[in-house]
Amino acid sequence: MSVQKKIVVATRPSLLAYTQTQQTVDLLQKANPDVEFEIKKFSTKGDRVLNRSLTEFGGTGLFVKELEHAMLEGEADIAVHSLKDVPSFHPEGLKLGSFPQREDVRDVFLSRNAQTIENMPQGFVLGTGSPRRKVQMAALRSDIKFKEIRGNIDSRIQKMIDGEYDAIILAAAGMNRLGKTYDEKLLLDVDQSIPAIGQGAIAIECRADDKQTIQIIEKVNHKPTMQAVLAERAFMAEIEGGCKFPLAAHALVLDNVLTMIAIVGDVKTNEYIVEQIEVGVAESVNKAKELAVKMKAICKDKGINFYL
C-alpha cells in the first residue's frame, strides 16, 4: 500500500517519553497503515534543568512548550504528551485531539527492602517533589521526612538503592510502559494516593486546523478515557492550578456515569479536603467545574491556603 501522508511526531528525548511515543505511534500505525510516521526529539527546559524543583521554575508545562512551538512552526505535526504534564490552558492554534486508552493511574511506593509504607521505620526519608503526594503520604504516616527528588525513573531508583532515600514514589504507568517489575502490594490504592490529574493518560496534540491529521489521530481515541480526563482537566482549569500546590483528581467512566474524587490542600500545613461526585457523562465537565468552585469555598472557610 502506498503512503498517502507523512506525520512528524514530536517527543521529549527521555527514555520514558520516547518509549511511550513509540508505543503510541505503533497504535497509530496499526490504525493508519497508509500513513508514514517519523519521530523527532525536542529537548525541553523541564528535561534540561534537573537540579531544581519543578514548582520553583514554572511547573510541568516546561515539558511541553518546545514541542508545542515545533508544531506551531511546522517542524512537527503532532506531539505525544503525558497528559499530567499538560497545563489546563494551551496555546491558541493547537488542540488535544486524541486520548488513547489509559494506563494504570496508581502510584507505586518503592523502598529498598520492598516494605510497604505501613511497615517502614519511624522517620524514614521519602523522595518526592510532588505536593499532592506529600500531603497524602503525611496523612498515612505523619513521621515521614520528605526530600526533594528529580530525574528519570532509573536515576531515582538508583538514588534510593544508594541510600539517599529510604523510599520513593513513582507512577505505575511509567513503570509499566518501561517494563519495570514491582510487587503489586506496593501499589497505593486511589483512596490512599489520589493520582495527579491526567495520570496514566497520553494526549496527542496537533494543530487545530489540521483536519486530516485530526482524523488520523482520532482513530486511536478511547472515549471513556477522554470523558474522564476532560472532567479532571475542567476541574483543574477552574481551580487554576498545576503542580505548585496539593491538587489531585481521578475520574472513572462506567455505564455512562462518571465518578470523580478530588483533593485540594496546603503543602505548608498538610491540610487538605476531599470531595467526590457521581454524575452522568453528559454533564460531567460542568459538574467538575462546580466541584472546583465548591472546594475553593470550603478551603476559604477552613482557612486552607492552597495558593503558594
- pLDDT tens for each residue of 242-290: 446 899 999 999 999 999 999 999 888 889 999 999 999 999 999 999 9
Instruction: Report which DSSP code applies to 139.
Output: H
What pLDDT is stored for residue 3 in this prediction? 56
CA distance 136 to 272: 9
CATH topology of domain 1-100+201-221: D-Maltodextrin-Binding Protein; domain 2 (3.40.190)
307 — pLDDT class (breaks 50, 70, 90): low
Over its C-alpha atoms, the chain yields an Rg (Å, rounded) of 19
pLDDT > 70: percent of the chain: 90
CATH code for the structural domain at 107-188: 3.40.190.10
Q: What is the pLDDT of residues 12-22, one digit of tens each?
A: 999 999 999 99
Whether the pTM exceeds 0.85: the reply is yes
Asked if pLDDT for residue 55 goes beyond 70, the answer is no
Where in the chain are the domains?
Answer: 1-100+201-221, 107-188, 222-303
Asked if 252 and 106 touch (Cβ cutoff 8 Å), the reply is no
Mean pLDDT, to the nearest integer, of 94-102? 97
Which of 236, 270, 239, 130 minimizes the C-alpha distance to 188?
130
Choice among 26, 47, 85, 183 that is catalytic = 85
Query: Residue 141: helix, strand or coil by DSSP?
Result: coil
Whether residue 85 lies in the annotated active site: yes
Confidence of residue 50 (pLDDT cuts 50, 70, 90): very low
Same fold, 1-100+201-221 and 222-303: no
Number of other residues whose CB lies within 10 A of the CB of residue 75: 14
The three cell numbers of residue 299 are: 478551603
